[in-house]
Chain A
């Protein structure tokens, strides 16, 4: 339809190429650094590709810092937070999407307002509250914080998925004499399942990546999560051991990348369109 001249086309490709380079080069550099032997890292003229690729950095990273324990802590916190967050958010999101009462408006208002408040205003009182509950320096306390912290977007996403489930299906089941609980469990829940999974995975990534709350709430190295332990590599004066640092940083990113790639496909699945036609 729109006729685009040759020069304009070339300009578009040049611009796209710039974007591709800008997006990719830091990550490629991280990868390259992770596989470089120490001698090349100390060279004054670093090369784009490692000349003698090695996995020494990965071994060294595991020896220098308790990465496995940190990863286990991160995994526990993120899994618990994601499951609990979705568990408590799904029912409320259902109400928000289906009933237009004062309660739904208040919940929507909270979702919006909670985005505007700086963490520091929330973390000080939370710190004092959790201290009284003896939940400082414990993964349990961190999970509680992550649940509440991920609720706004979980509610937002889930309410959207509920709206996509046609009301007619629930009403048809009601005509057939099914009770309210039965309708929710055997009509709505299966249709919502992909959305619930996507939301849980998203909550998992945010908790896995989170740094600020973990930094404040976890004091001893045995309890600390992966992002906090990663900053230990930087050392006191910023004199970092670059190779192991890059290797550990790359490993910490892998789960997020994999999970994120999964959700992208999940979100595009159109389950509801088929359900109404039958």
Chain B
């Protein structure tokens, strides 16, 4: 029990480099607090993760009586020549980059608007709850109603505006991927907006006023005052969005099921089918490993490039 801080005046933070208890390493009471969470984490998260990576080097299949054997890097060699997988991977990257970029641009715009003193901001905040709270399956169903070629509101609106007869958005080879990307943007925009808005409200107000007094226009103020303060939040939120989008499953599963002709078959859908439709556990685990590796590389390049770019300016 430490009483060193007891004499400090109440209501004031005492700066300290960690409690003495933390320096000694965990004692019995700490273990008692930690174990209830630690055991499930080890058994159901860390363990399965390592097990999953190990599975990638085996010929594990579902419902087989023969015992599983180590096959070395055979799965990865097969993956290398699996054109369908790489096509799916390309689509996954297009999807993840497209959704993440549009999410960011639109969310930044909305956050800037919400950071002003406009009326109706409360309505935007209230409406933003809907995509955030809604089950992904319902988001998919809802947009299928919007995109519906006959009974959907999108085609009807286009017809009313005289912009042609509309089309079957989700089954057209050219329109399917852009159509699902739009849904991804709609579903993820609120979280990004809230994060960016929090970042905006932390930018120094005085700097803004000083810049305005110096005659800097809105765009210049944004570039020289707002943006530099926003960069850390923007980087973190973009990196997280990219990971989540690349691993996304339910939205596209409901919207198109990966069709038409595999045009929207994200890597997660591909791996899901491989594992639970065809029972190829080892092969699907190898896909998962490749996905992790690529995500890590993309993020490392992105973050390194962005951080360097930030220093240059």
Is B29 engaged at the interface, CB distance under 8 Å to the other chain? Answer: yes
Is B130 engaged at the interface, CB distance under 8 Å to the other chain? Answer: yes
Quick check: B292 and A19 within 8 Å, CB to CB?
no
Which applies to chain B's interface (DSSP): helix, strand, loop or mixed? helix
Quick check: A23 and B128 within 8 Å, CB to CB?
yes
The one of B109, B208, B247 that contacts A15, using a Cβ cutoff of 8 Å: B109
Binds A, one of B15-23, B77-85, B195-203, B302-310: B15-23
* In the complex with contacts A22-B186, A88-B37, A116-B295, A234-B271 CB distance below 8 A: no
Quick check: B40 and A117 within 8 Å, CB to CB?
no
Quick check: B25 and A101 within 8 Å, CB to CB?
yes
Once bound together, how far apart are the Cα atoms of A25 and B50, in whole Å? 44
Quick check: B3 and A120 within 8 Å, CB to CB?
no
* In the complex with contacts A20-B123, A120-B284, A145-B44 CB distance below 8 A: yes
* In the complex with contacts A20-B120, A27-B130, A92-B36, A234-B45 CB distance below 8 A: no
Q: How many residues of A contact B (CB 8 A)?
A: 100
Is B11 engaged at the interface, CB distance under 8 Å to the other chain? Answer: yes
* In the complex with contacts A124-B55, A147-B40, A171-B5, A116-B109 CB distance below 8 A: no
Is B51 engaged at the interface, CB distance under 8 Å to the other chain? Answer: yes
* In the complex with contacts A128-B281, A171-B2, A100-B22 CB distance below 8 A: yes
Is A212 engaged at the interface, CB distance under 8 Å to the other chain? Answer: yes
Residues of A near B73 (CB, < 8 A) are: none
The one of B110, B151, B243, B249 that contacts A41, using a Cβ cutoff of 8 Å: B151
B98-133: CB near A (< 8 Å → 1, else 0) gives 000000001001100100101011011001111111
By CB atoms of chain B within 10 A, which of A42, A253, A276 has the most?
A253
Quick check: B6 and A172 within 8 Å, CB to CB?
yes
Distance in angstroms from A23 CB to nearest chain B CB is: 4
Is A62 engaged at the interface, CB distance under 8 Å to the other chain? Answer: no
* In the complex with contacts A26-B186, A44-B150, A89-B37, A99-B142 CB distance below 8 A: no
The one of B129, B209, B287 that contacts A257, using a Cβ cutoff of 8 Å: B129
Once bound together, how far apart are the Cα atoms of A119 and B55, in whole Å? 15
Q: Which of A101-146 contact B (CB under 8 A)?
A: 101-104, 107, 110, 114-126, 128-129, 144-145
Interface residues on B, range: 35 or more
Quick check: B110 and A19 within 8 Å, CB to CB?
yes
Is A264 engaged at the interface, CB distance under 8 Å to the other chain? Answer: yes
Is A208 engaged at the interface, CB distance under 8 Å to the other chain? Answer: yes
Quick check: A121 and B240 within 8 Å, CB to CB?
no
The one of A42, A107, A110, A261 that contacts B151, using a Cβ cutoff of 8 Å: A42
Q: Which of A182-199 contact B (CB under 8 A)?
A: none
Quick check: B134 and A256 within 8 Å, CB to CB?
yes
Nearest B residue to A176, CB-CB: B6
Residues of B near A44 (CB, < 8 A) are: 150
Is A200 engaged at the interface, CB distance under 8 Å to the other chain? Answer: no
Distance in angstroms from A177 CB to nearest chain B CB is: 10
Is A205 engaged at the interface, CB distance under 8 Å to the other chain? Answer: yes
**What are 14 of the A-B contact pairs (CB < 8 Å)?**
A43-B151, A48-B153, A94-B33, A99-B22, A102-B25, A107-B37, A116-B299, A118-B246, A118-B291, A120-B285, A166-B10, A209-B133, A212-B250, A212-B272
Residues of A with Cβ closer than 8 Å to B?
A: 1-2, 4, 8, 12-13, 15-16, 19-20, 22-27, 29-30, 33, 41-46, 48, 87-89, 91-92, 94-95, 98-104, 107, 110, 114-126, 128-129, 144-145, 147-148, 151, 155, 166-168, 171-172, 174-175, 180, 205, 208-209, 211-212, 216, 226-227, 230-231, 233-234, 238, 240, 242, 245-246, 249-250, 252-253, 256-257, 259-261, 264, 276-277
Q: Give the top 9 A-B pairs by smallest Cβ distance, nearest first.
A: A121-B288, A91-B33, A99-B22, A260-B133, A209-B135, A125-B48, A125-B51, A92-B37, A100-B18
